[in-house]
Amino acid sequence: MAKQNIYDNEVFFSEYRKLRKREVNANNLFELPTLFSLLPDLTGKRILDLGCGNGERCTDYLKRGAARVTGIDISEKMLAAAQIENSDPDITYLKMPMEDIGSIDDTFDVVLSSLALHYVEDFSGVVKNVYRLLCPGGIFLFSQEHPFTTCYSGTADRWTRDENGKKLYANIADYCVERRNDSKWFVEGVQRYHRTFSTIVNTLADTGFRILKMAEPCPTEEILHKYPEYCDLYHKPDFLFVKAVK
């Protein structure tokens, strides 16, 4: 089955790049600080970045002491941007869907993935390949859209609101039905895969991983003071993080 490559859609790519360049966005406020707080010591480590995008994180990992970084992505546009914006002799970029990492003939100390695994249908297959590619004691750390987000089908309002439009609570439906949801984000037909918490955790455990930590970032008082619109994250976190060890 062909893997969706939505980031090579011209409209999607352009709008996504505009979003990420804004100083105030959920990635900068919540996803990146949490990711960095969960990173192990990268000094001298071999890193594999799944869904590396424009390579920003690959550069970050080198700055934190990594010996070398391999970044993979399915998007030619993202990899072209990576070569221009985040090129380094110690970074190798490969055009490859995450489902195909089993073909990589190498081992790594740390495998990282930032907001990419919810695009993968065969989560179990990817986890098994990550386990094989990691050296003993290696770390697998990833973020993904929160399962309370991925279960949203896009066919109704995500929120119940009061008469003034204030969000009262998130509408959660068919949480236990694991499936692909197609929704509109910049363009129609963006494919995301919904899995429950138990499936995510049990897949890791059944493969042989030991869970070290999970995180669901919520706004601090300081963030809410500056950006009160993020108060809705008290109802439903946007992101889920899992850190596991082989």
The pLDDT tens digits for 115-127 are: 999 999 999 999 9
Return the higher-pLDDT residue of 23 and 37: 37
What pLDDT is recorded for position 23? 75
Alpha-carbon distance of 164 to 141, in angstroms, equals: 40
Model pTM score: 0.94
Rounded to 5, what percent of the chain is helix, strand, coil? 40, 30, 35
- By DSSP bridging, strand 239-245 and strand 134-145 are antiparallel
d(CA 242, CA 130): 14
Q: Which residue has the higher pLDDT, 192 or 203?
A: 203
- Residue 45 — very low, low, confident or very high, per pLDDT cuts 50/70/90? very high
pLDDT for 2 beyond 70: no
Tell me the pLDDT band of 1, cut-offs 50, 70 and 90: low
pLDDT score for 245: 98
| Identity of the amino acid at 103 | S
Question: Percent of the chain beyond pLDDT 90?
Answer: 78
Predicted confidence (pLDDT) per residue in 203-243, tens digit: 999 999 999 999 999 999 999 999 999 999 999 999 999 99
Q: Is the pLDDT of residue 169 over 80?
A: yes
Average pLDDT of the residues in 76-93: 96
Which residues, including other chains, have CB under 8 Å from residue 220's CB and lie 6 or more apart?
A: none
How confident is residue 28, by pLDDT bands cut at 50, 70 and 90?
A: very high
Q: Which DSSP category does 164 fall into?
A: T
- Mean pLDDT over all residues of the chain? 93
Longest CA–CA span in the chain (Å) reads 58
pLDDT score of 189: 77
State which fold the 30-245 domain adopts. Rossmann fold (3.40.50)
- Domain map (residue ranges) of the chain: 30-245
Q: Cβ–Cβ contacts within 10 Å for residue 115, how many? A: 18
Instruction: Write phi, then psi, for 183 (nearest 5 degrees).
Output: -140, 175
What average pLDDT does range 159-172 have in this prediction? 91
Which neighbouring-strand residues pair with 1?
A: none
Residues 30 and 215: their CA atoms lie apart, in Å, by 11
